[in-house]
Amino acid sequence: MTQPWSIRGFSNEHAHLDKGMLVPGVAYADAPPAVRGGWTREHKAKFTRQDIYDRAEAALQSMLQYGTTYIRTHVDVDPLVGLKCVEALLELQRNYEKQVIIDITAFNQEGFDRFPETAELLEEALGMGRIGLGGHTLTDADGEGHIRRLFELCERRDVPWLEFHTDESGKPEHFLMPVIARESKKRGWAGKVYAIHCNSLANVTDRQAEEAIELAAEAGLSIIVCPTAVATRAVTRTKQLMKAGLRVSLGSDNMGDLFNPLGSGNMLHYAQLLAYIQRFYEPEEQQALLDMLMSEPADAEAARRVEELGACVVYETGRADLLLAHAPRPVSMARGAALTSP
């Protein structure tokens, strides 16, 4: 092998560790999202703190072995599970702080309409540590009201970041990405707001998309693309977002649960999936995918902690690929493209 050099470890900017690895312990059956959401609620009501921790740790270890050094995970907060997910993930965060940076987002998965008590629980969760806030533009009948309510909570509690599962259905009638951008711009929250998925952006008119992307760039939104969304809906306009200068990163999303029974934890796999879906074939496009995987977190405190954690060591094998040796077993990747691990 030739002389090694260092690179930043991979970032997984959207995961659901608290629900990870339910499968194969729970049998998966394919069904519409609303049905699988109902099944998940049934199981979530039975979660224990130890169960959450054990499954989250299993998912985390899968990510670690492929060189991931930064994870931002949503954890459900609602009357079904209370604060058990937050407690378990805070413990996991402490126990693995020398190996990986885990940022936690208290997530209103079920909406205020279904569980009004979630509002009080979110307030409690935000007092448990340096924790972000997460919402979902489709969970309440008044999506715009949901968005504004979470912005207002963030401002009251000085929350470090705010994330939304954004327009996840992919339907044009659910297109609320511009609302998030306008609220972020009005409140001066550039660099602190993340729009995840943005699937409807793929299905609105080109004119609507151009206007929304311009507004998002002005507002300083960060976009998180989860390529596994292609299983049920169109993936957002990734190249167009990148070309407009927005910060675009990748997330694994669900892993081994009732929303997605698959998932290796290898961020190179997700990058490769996006490369195929949206033809990231040219050399500079392939490099852009790797840059997304190794990008510095937008949150300054997270970026500082990742820097302190240190870099991965990379060796050239003499073939057309590289060897990433940050974790328990090395990961092979092509120069500018993703390959599976050996």
The 10s digit of each residue's pLDDT in 20-45 is: 999 988 889 999 988 999 999 999 99
Structure tokens at 219: 């507002």
The token pair at 201 is 């952006």
* Band of pLDDT at residue 4, cut at 50, 70 and 90: low
Assess if residue 118 is contained within a domain.
yes
Token pair belonging to 187: 């409140």
Q: What is the pLDDT of residues 40-95, one digit of tens each?
A: 999 999 999 999 999 999 999 999 988 899 999 999 999 999 999 999 999 999 99
Over residues 200-248, the pLDDT tens digits come to 999 999 999 999 999 999 999 999 999 999 999 999 999 999 999 999 9
Residue 144 included in any domain = yes
Note whether residue 3 is domain-resident: no
Residue 121 lies in a domain: yes
- What does the pLDDT average to over 88-114? 97
pLDDT in tens, 283-319: 899 889 888 988 889 999 999 999 888 766 555 555 4
Give how many domains the chain has, as a whole number.
1
- Looking at residue 312, its pLDDT comes to 64
| Residue span of the structural domain in which 138 resides | 10-307
> Does residue 222 fall inside a structural domain?
yes
pLDDT at 121: 98
Task: Note whether residue 177 is domain-resident.
Answer: yes
- CATH number of the domain at 27, please: 3.20.20.140
Give me the pLDDT at residue 305, please: 93
Residue 101 lies in a domain: yes
pTM of the entire structure?
0.91
Residue corresponding to tokens 């270890």: 61
Indicate whether 337 belongs to any domain.
no
